Amino acid sequence: MTTSAWDERAEAYRVSATHATGVDLDLLVDFCEPGPGKDALDVATGGGHVARRLREAGCRVTTCDPSPGMQADVLCWAEDMPFADGSFDAVANRFAAHHFSDVHVAVAEMARVSRGPVVVVDMNYADEAVERAELLRDPGHVKTYSEAEWREIFAAAGLTVADFRLVPRGYPLEDWLARTGCVGEEAAAVRRELAHVTDAEGVWHGDVVVIKGVKR
């Protein structure tokens, strides 16, 4: 998937209520151990909501993203970041890991540039119907991961899992589809695939992973 698609979606992510708030975002900030004078990196910043919250907590924040439309400080892929080893007191990534072409390399990069915690938030693997829906809605979707897979990914990057939470979240289905411009037959197929997790109010439900790793 090219970054131009994300440039087109940038404003939708900046104004997304789903991304601006949430228990998972609160946990991410807490897991980063923020404070005045600390340097944090927000990887694949998207709409910038993680960066905003970490700045509010007193951190100096650098943002990176491969899409120019996301207006990050540094343009780069998560798998190849131009920062020296141990550059940051905390490194965070939220709702982007399912897009990474190589999640093992990306998490290893996050571990490399952090001298403190590495915190990742993403959707938890539910089932193959949800995976099909994710891909129909967004061709840039690669995969969501289970708790066991996340623990293996962090271990492979030299990180000990210090905390792991599963947080229930609801996604208003029509807003979720509109954010990526998913319409027509593809949207209808997504609705069918998610029928088993969608309630009467049109909100589909799943768990979110919040995982904190520290170097061994």
- Residues in contact with 114: Cβ distance below 8 Å, sequence separation at least 6, in sequence order: 41, 86, 87, 88, 89, 90, 91, 215
Rounded Cα–Cα distance for residues 140 and 187 (Å): 16
Whole-number CA gyration radius for the chain: 16
Percent of the chain having pLDDT more than 70? 92
Which candidate, 14, 143, 124, 133, places its Cα nearest to that of 67? 14
What is the number of other CB atoms lying within 10 angstroms of the CB of residue 69?
A: 17
pLDDT above 50: residue 45: yes
Query: Which class for 154: exposed (0-12), middle (13-18), buried (19 or more C-beta within 10 A)?
Result: buried
Q: How high is the pLDDT of residue 90?
A: 98
Q: How high is the pLDDT of residue 1?
A: 44
Tens digits of residue pLDDT in 129-179: 999 999 999 999 999 999 999 999 999 999 999 999 999 999 999 999 999
pLDDT above 70: residue 63: yes
User: Domain-by-domain residue ranges, the chain?
Assistant: 3-126+140-168+206-215
pLDDT above 90: residue 11: no
Percent of the chain having pLDDT more than 90? 88
Rounded Cα–Cα distance for residues 105 and 137 (Å): 25
**For 3-126+140-168+206-215, which CATH class?**
alpha beta
Tokens of 122: 């993403």
pLDDT above 50: residue 39: yes
Rounded Cα–Cα distance for residues 24 and 146 (Å): 16
pLDDT above 80: residue 3: no
